[in-house]
Chains A and B, each alone.
Chain A
């Protein structure tokens, strides 16, 4: 029987951008409802796939499982729960061996955690987090339907998935080496500490490298997209270096965080081929991934490189479009 893995990150969508910007709150009850929608959505197939759910402390998986449609077999994985990103990674590693597709409910951070372990398994990322460049803002029911048709092999997986890129940063510091990986972007900030993680003040941003760029996206990929948009499937990426907008020869006005539109001064913008590196010198700052500060650095050199080794992401629209055209959604 086809199997869909489901990851619901209870911790997604709670960071400081709710205070400094306009990010919304997705509480547990809302996440539980999205999960319930996914379980309902898989019943578009007369033989729905089985769904395995990551366990969590908040009881989201348990509630969703309890209310699942009778025709759907649901199991909650018997895995330890730490209440950290490790839970997501552990569950996805398990799914890679046991499931055909994984549906991830969270934001860029959760999807990034899932991507560490997803390998070739198709990932359907549904936005319930904060800074959502990668996950699709789609109703859970529709996501469930798309996951079902892919998991059951009713559409050609290669045709409805694309490999997302990643951006890898390697930092050399006097005290050692550090690595940070982002899906959509890696940013360099002049702010000293990881602190509340979010890149809250655009004035702190020095630049970074993106794997995709479009003005519909929030953060560094949005700023880059104002200059030269390209999709997540495009090879390579782009490096953006910023400067004080008052002295910059050109600026873009873009959404740097939900509810925070800012004028950003452009120092330089360069397309990078896959594997090509942009170097940043950081005297005292932080390297972040997908809008979140990750690694504090002092006197460091950071090499940032776009790579072609991200998750195999399902395009919901494509998947259901092909399913419909193939008659999969019609019962005689």
Chain B
């Protein structure tokens, strides 16, 4: 089982907490990026929290997920520690990838997180592969491949879904349709209105759910998981959602107007779930505010940790190319070690 399921009041509150943590993390990352502290690119998940959290709530802890370039939310939903995530964003030695991956490549394979991925559409083949390992070894797991609406146009996505379907593997493909593939509206990239219709081409069920409603996403993934574990093969789920921020931080968003963003904010996945939990008597406004403050504090601590953490030693650049060392790289590693050791003395 996951740490949290939507079957209990505690689980629902925990799901809300994860959504709050994701939002705090990404809003903070956006600020720190704007301030020039975080190098590279960051792609934020603000607005889409219900998809990652709903999905992971329906998974077991040892199930796999393969993420996208917009992966922070998936990481937190899957239970990764924001401290080491933030350290990775800062390129620090203690980051999940020792500073070699950054925002777009956070991974923790032992925790079932097969990596954020900078290539659009790369998650599904990874999920099919993990599902192949699961099936081959007869393990009681499933593998989820996240993809964006843009990725539905990628050949490798369809090859992966076809293979998973043909081999009847326990995979689930979750399309996060946030309405824009980078800066181009979904209608200009696909000639189907429901991206889940493409499942029909692969002989598997495809469904579209409200991706702003964590309960809808969780329910669909739960059904898909049951189906996969019953040996009935993969499922495609399209979650209709929206990203409030640009494709990447710094995106001028000329392709949409603020009214549209506001309309989607009215269905905010956190605010709407919060209201429902309050209506159900499972949450109070005061508790919610406390949770919000806690989430903010968690991220502030993560930020402080990341800022103070050590940079990687330059020789780290030569680590992890292979399981063993090769002479072609080893000599550079030795030079880096000698150079910095010499400098230290």
**Interface of A toward B, CB cutoff 8 Å:** 10-11, 14-16, 18-20, 25, 27-29, 56-60, 173, 175, 192-197, 200, 284, 296, 298
Contacts and interface: CB of A to CB of B under 8 A. Distances in A.
Contact of A195 (B208, B219, B237): B219
A173 B194 CA distance: 35
Interface of B: 6, 187, 191-194, 196-197, 199-200, 205-210, 213, 215-216, 218-220, 223-224, 227, 235, 237-238, 276, 279-281
B279 A298 contact: yes
Contacts of B6: 193
A196 B197 contact: no
Given A14-B194, A284-B280, A196 B209 contact: yes
A27 B197 contact: yes
Closest CB pairs A-B (n = 9): A58-B193, A193-B215, A195-B219, A10-B193, A27-B197, A14-B208, A19-B205, A14-B194, A18-B205
A196 B216 contact: yes
B278 to A, nearest CB: 9
Nearest to B237: A19
Contact of B223 (A19, A29, A59, A60): A19
Nearest to A299: B281
19 contacts: A10-B194, A14-B197, A15-B207, A15-B208, A15-B209, A18-B205, A18-B206, A20-B223, A25-B200, A27-B192, A27-B194, A27-B200, A28-B194, A58-B191, A194-B215, A194-B216, A195-B219, A196-B220, A298-B279
A58 B207 contact: no
Contacts of B219: 16, 193, 195-196, 200
A60 B194 CA distance: 13
A195 B227 CA distance: 18
B213 A175 contact: no
B207 A16 contact: yes
The residue among B213, B235, B237, B279 with the most chain A CB atoms within 10 A of its own CB is: B279
Nearest to B224: A19
A25 B208 CA distance: 11
Given A58-B187, A196-B210, A284-B280, 9 more contacts: A14-B194, A14-B206, A16-B209, A27-B200, A28-B194, A58-B192, A193-B6, A193-B216, A196-B223
The residue among A193, A195, A197 with the most chain B CB atoms within 10 A of its own CB is: A195
B205 A298 contact: no
A299 to B, nearest CB: 9
A139 to B, nearest CB: 21
Nearest to A17: B207
A205 B206 CA distance: 25
B120 to A, nearest CB: 22
A192 B280 CA distance: 10
Contact of A197 (B187, B193, B194, B216): B216
Contacts of B276: 193, 296
A169 B124 CA distance: 43
Contacts of A193: 6, 213, 215-216, 219, 276
Contacts of B197: 14, 25, 27-28
Contact of A57 (B187, B200, B213): B187
